[in-house]
Amino acid sequence: MPNARASHLTRRGLLTAGSALGLGVALAACGTSDDKGGAGKGGAGKAGEKSGPWKFQDDRGTAVELKAVPKNIVAFTGTAAALHDYGVEVKGVFGPTRTKDGKPDVQAGDLDISKVKIVGNVYGEFNIEQYAALAPELLITNMWAKDDPWYVPPQSKDKIMKLAPSVLLWAAETTMAKALQRHAELAESLGGDVKGKEAADAKARFEKAAARLRAAAKAKPDIKVLIGSGSQELFYVSVPKTSADTLYFQELGVKFVEPKPNAQGFFEELSWENAGKYGADIIILDNRTGTLQPDALTKKPTWGKLPAVKAGQVVPRVTEPIYSYDKCAPILEDLAKAIETAKKVA
C-alpha cells in the first residue's frame, strides 16, 4: 500500500491538477484499506432479489446493516458503472455522467444514463432534494481519503450522509486487483452475478491480460512509461505508487518515470516550457473529460517535441478505472500492446 499522504491536500487542488494523481483526483490521505470486508448476507443470484437482512463491511471498517438488500441505490458514476457490469442497477448517480453534448461520460461505462437520475454531474454539484426524492436506501462512492466520500460536496456532506447509510470503497491506498475484488464482493452482496459465465469470462480475460502485461514488461525492461495529464497551464507527471492502477502495473514489472513530487507527494507540476524534463518511451495520457487530449495538446509547442509524441507512442489512460473485470481487462491489454510495439526513443 502507498504510504500515508498529507492530510492538508485539498479536493479542489486535486481536481484542478487533473489526472496527475494517478487515478486522477486521488485524495489519498491517512489510513489503509480493510481487505477483510465481507461480502455480506445479500447473497448472489438475481440482481436486486431480496434475501433477508443485508450486511456489508466497507473499507472504513464500517459494517452497514439493513433489513433487506437495498434497491434504491445512489452511487458515484464510476462505481455505478462497475455494479452495472454485474447486473446491479442504481436509481441515481453523481459524478461525471453526461458530457456537454449529451453523450455518456467516459466514467459512465455501459450505464444507460437515460435511466438513472443524475443528482450531480460535476464536482461540487449534488442536488439534495432530488437525492431525497429517490428515497435512497444506500449511498455508494469511492474513498480517496479516509472516511471522505468522493464527490459528495464537503459543504453539504453532513446533510447528505444523514439521509441514507453509506458504503465507501478505497480508490487509493490499494491496488487494482484488490479494488476489483472489493467491488465484486459488494456487487455479490447486492445480488449481482459474479460467478456466472459472463463474469467468469471477464475475470479470466483480466488474468490473461495481466500475464500478458507482465510478459511484455519483462521482454522490454528498458521501456519507460510516463503518467501524464495536461491542463492549459501545466503538465502533470504522476508518481506511480499513488494510484491503484499504476501501482498494480508496477507490480507486474512496468517501468515508470519517477518524478520529484511536490510536498503532497502525488505528482510533479511542470510548466509547458519544462514538459520535456523526463525522458519517456511511452506516455499514458489522462482520458478524462476536462483534461487536454492529444488534439488540443498540439497547440503546445513542447508537447510535439517529446520523444514519445514524435514516435506516436502516446496511449489513453483510463485515469479512474471502472472496477469490474470487464472494464479493467482492456486497460491491461492496451498497455501490454503499447509496450510490445514500443521503440526505445527516450
Taking only the tens place, the pLDDT of each residue in 310-332 is 999 999 999 999 999 999 999 99
Amino acid at 16: T
Taking only the tens place, the pLDDT of each residue in 244-297 is 999 999 999 999 999 999 887 889 999 999 999 999 999 999 999 889 999 999
Alpha-helical segments (H) within 43-136: 77-85, 128-133
Please state, as a whole number, how many other Cβ atoms lie within 10 Å of the Cβ of residue 272: 18
Alpha-helical segments (H) within 190-305: 197-219, 244-251, 294-297
Least confident of 38-47, 85-94, 99-108, 320-329: 38-47
Mean pLDDT of 15-37: 36
Write down the pTM of the prediction: 0.84
Whether residue 30 is predicted with pLDDT greater than 90 in this model: the reply is no
Residue with cell 479516509: 146
Q: How confident is the model at residue 37 (pLDDT cuts 50, 70, 90)?
A: very low
- pLDDT confidence of residue 46: 45
Q: How far are the Cα atoms of 13, 142, 235, 295, 342 from residue 230, in angstroms, in the given order?
A: 14, 24, 5, 12, 22
Please state, as a whole number, how many other Cβ atoms lie within 10 Å of the Cβ of residue 314: 21
- pLDDT confidence of residue 97: 97
